[in-house]
A and B are shown apart, each in its own frame.
Chain A
């Protein structure tokens, strides 16, 4: 049995408190009126500070240059998400200044919300990725991984609390308590025929109902998978519980691949309601899958270093690192397939998605390619390196940061546009959820023995070597 160390407990509580304070500060610091925005921008004109001076400065330049540039940027901004408004903008360029400040105001007001959303989704998707990996190991009857099952079960313990948090944030956004989803704003929808055409799917009630179904399905699978796994320990005669677990894993995987796809439309793609991509669901899946596997590897290495996992050898780590390597390349494949098809055909209604990202998010957009592809590719290609713990940890940390940036790139351009920065609200939100995640996962680890001894493949798994 694992006993949670008081250090981890304290550490995670500190993270939660610091993160919560920072996030609240982020909400307070967000401007509430146009005058505040003017003040902020005036104070940042002179000197550099950590509130995205470069980005803000650039926006101002946009406003001063001619309307063509303006038009180019506008349709992708959160609240100018319709051509109608942008066209209006051109006509009344004389008093367009105020409208411009209003635009910035909405972006800055969105920033703490978007930070919260990104961090909540990022940690939720780790738990979800681990759950899928777990189900695949069952459905594939993998012989190497059963020694890691209890670690995976513990990580997926975050699924329920993380899912509830996601649900609350989604409900708030779907019913326009914040301005995250443009399509939730009735005023925008009234002027936007494209969103009107999609309102059969994109409406608050539908979003909440679908989210409830997805989350319920995933959490129910998690509940029964863990329950059967515990029962199998107590009563392994005939593998009754194991067979049940096998069946529900197969069922869950079918359910998951449909719901994950819809989840990615609802929770991520609908930030840009004018844009659509068919392989988006797979792309989000690759991101959550590789993050999940990385977290399994990191927690396994941590627990082994503390002496809790004598039955885990470096071949298990090697296998996990191979998955990290392979799925990282899979993610890149999907990223590039999506990017290249849209770049190549250059159809205006699709390509704006990438134009905003390349113009305003150059460093995070291409930086994540280095973190998610080049770094793991070169580091984890060597078979010997995959057995060295600190190599795997280093690659894992970079992959996790890279996939945070990935989610950031998916959410931020549509919600805060050019006013982005990785500052107080972003870091605080990550710390808050990191603390919560660590606390829940390590508490869950204490609930059951670390070896699923009733599993029929456990002996094979203990002697696994590659």
Chain B
């Protein structure tokens, strides 16, 4: 399915921010913005929803804590409660201080690693993945805003975008759907 998008390139993040706000005010749909570095406040200006990555991390941490507790309760207390150096292995609680370092580390380990993997999966990043960069300059010093032109007059839209300070405007027909 072919779709028409407009690529507007900017050379300054402040101009980009202004442009994003103007485009949103005119109710054009911004497909994507490519920047060489994080632009503070861009997500807010684009109206993107908050990330829920922190919530997943909390839940993964809870999983890690549970794993640590279950593991050590089984190994040290239930399966083979030996007397090791006089440490009380009669119940989990009695010997708990000795387990806390492991409980802490596993909580952090699960929270950190599973959150990172979640991030990779959600943002579709993996080795050998084909880069989706529409213009190589956007990794260096250019900012690119991709605006959906589907139901709009292309000439009017390009004119509007050049008014927002774009240094270069391209009309692109995309052959396939982007994921």
Contact = CB atoms under 8 A, between A and B. Distances in A.
Interface of A: 336, 339-340, 343-344, 346, 381, 383
Interface of B: 54, 58, 86, 97-98, 100
A336 B54 contact: no
Contacts of A339: 97
Contact of B86 (A336, A340, A346, A381): A346
Contacts of B54: 383
Contacts of A381: 58
Contacts of B97: 336, 339-340, 343-344
**7 closest Cβ pairs, A-B complex:** A340-B97, A343-B97, A344-B98, A336-B100, A340-B100, A344-B97, A339-B97
Contacts of A340: 97-98, 100
Nearest to A341: B97
Given A336-B97, A336-B100, A340-B97, 9 more contacts: A339-B97, A340-B98, A340-B100, A343-B97, A344-B97, A344-B98, A346-B86, A381-B58, A383-B54
A340 B103 CA distance: 14
Max count, chain A CB within 10 A of own CB: residue among B54, B97, B100: B97
Contacts, number: 12
A335 B178 CA distance: 54
A383 B98 CA distance: 32
Which secondary structure dominates chain B's binding surface?
helix
12 contacts: A336-B97, A336-B100, A339-B97, A340-B97, A340-B98, A340-B100, A343-B97, A344-B97, A344-B98, A346-B86, A381-B58, A383-B54
Contacts of B86: 346
A383 B58 CA distance: 13
A339 B98 CA distance: 11
Contacts of A346: 86
A464 to B, nearest CB: 14
Contacts of B98: 340, 344
A328 B111 CA distance: 20
A340 B96 CA distance: 10
Contacts of B100: 336, 340
A339 B100 CA distance: 12
Contacts of A383: 54
A73 B93 CA distance: 23
Contacts of A343: 97
A334 to B, nearest CB: 14
B123 to A, nearest CB: 21
A344 B97 CA distance: 8
Contacts of A344: 97-98
A344 B54 CA distance: 35
Nearest to B54: A383
A375 B97 CA distance: 20
Nearest to B87: A344
Nearest to A339: B97
Contacts of B58: 381
Nearest to A381: B58
A134 to B, nearest CB: 29
B74 to A, nearest CB: 22
B115 to A, nearest CB: 14
B97 to A, nearest CB: 5
A340 B86 CA distance: 15
Nearest to A346: B86
A57 to B, nearest CB: 26
B35 to A, nearest CB: 21
Nearest to A384: B50
Nearest to A343: B97
A273 to B, nearest CB: 26
A344 B86 CA distance: 10
A460 to B, nearest CB: 15
B62 to A, nearest CB: 11
A140 to B, nearest CB: 22
A74 B100 CA distance: 31
A340 B97 CA distance: 6
Nearest to A465: B41
A143 to B, nearest CB: 15
Nearest to B41: A465
Nearest to B101: A340
A330 to B, nearest CB: 14
B66 to A, nearest CB: 16
A383 B52 CA distance: 12
B175 to A, nearest CB: 42
A82 B132 CA distance: 77
Nearest to A383: B54
A340 B95 CA distance: 11
A343 B54 CA distance: 35
A346 B85 CA distance: 11
B13 to A, nearest CB: 18
A363 B117 CA distance: 42
A42 B100 CA distance: 45
Nearest to B55: A382
A339 B86 CA distance: 17
A339 B58 CA distance: 27
A340 B58 CA distance: 26
A21 B86 CA distance: 51
A346 B87 CA distance: 10
A339 B97 CA distance: 9
A176 to B, nearest CB: 38
A213 to B, nearest CB: 38
B61 to A, nearest CB: 10
A22 B58 CA distance: 47
B146 to A, nearest CB: 29
Nearest to A333: B104
A343 B86 CA distance: 12
A206 B100 CA distance: 40
A343 B96 CA distance: 11
